[in-house]
Amino acid sequence: MKSILLIACACCMVKFGFAQQDTLPQKDKFYYGVGIGFGPGSESGGYADVYLYLQRKNTYIALKSSVISESQIYSYEPAPGVSDVALILGKSYTFNQYANLQFGFGAAYTERIYRGAFLYNTCNSFFCLLGRDVYEIVKQRTVGLSAEARFNFMVTRRWALTLGLNANLNQAKSFCGACVGLRFGRLRDRVAKN
């Protein structure tokens, strides 16, 4: 099932790549930026991603790291979570001087952390108030495929508000997330007013 979804996404991206043209005139320059986003994920806990990207014309490459993790306060158990570091290659389309849409996918190194077997209890006496259970921390690492779709509203030529959808397909624990964030960098050229 995962391979069918992957093939369908790849076909759609190729179709968009050949059918659409960028409407914002670009002067053969490089565009670059750094971004951060937060939101809900497919697993319990919050989703966050951080990325750096470089764009020339309508093709971009990005180095992205994302994580879904539970935040546990006053807990000695390992917080379950999934994280990845991905190298994304994709297409970028600017429809006017403010709206930008990006689609990309690439290889990702994925790590899953979860609670393993019970090891021991720290309480050494019959009546213990501060004893706790200690569990094994299991780390599972694999290579997967990461895909993203991102809408950027370029407030200025340096700042943008972003809405993103991200997915990671892998053997350990596939996950996806949606995020709202900010992007800073050289996002577009100054547009002359008519």
Give tens-digit pLDDT for 54-80: 999 889 999 999 999 877 666 667 778
Domains: count for the chain: 1
Q: Any idea what the CATH number is for the domain that residue 53 is in?
A: 2.40.160
Average of per-residue pLDDT values in the chain: 83
pLDDT confidence tier of residue 6, bands split at 50, 70 and 90: very low
Q: Is residue 91 part of a domain?
A: yes
What is the reported pTM?
Answer: 0.76
Could you report the per-residue pLDDT of 103-132, keeping only the tens digit for each?
A: 999 999 999 888 888 887 777 766 777 777
DSSP 8-state symbol, 41? B
User: Residue 168 above 90 pLDDT?
Assistant: yes
Residue type, 77: E
Higher pLDDT, 114 or 185: 185
Q: Is residue 42 exposed (0-12), middle (13-18) or buried (19+ Cβ within 10 Å)?
A: middle
In this structure, the strands spanning 46-56 and 159-169 are unpaired
Whether residue 169 lies inside any domain: the answer is yes
Q: What is the pLDDT of residue 39?
A: 94
Q: Where are the beta strands (DSSP E) in the chain?
A: 30-40, 46-56, 59-69, 81-94, 99-121, 133-154, 159-169, 175-186
In a domain? residue 163 = yes
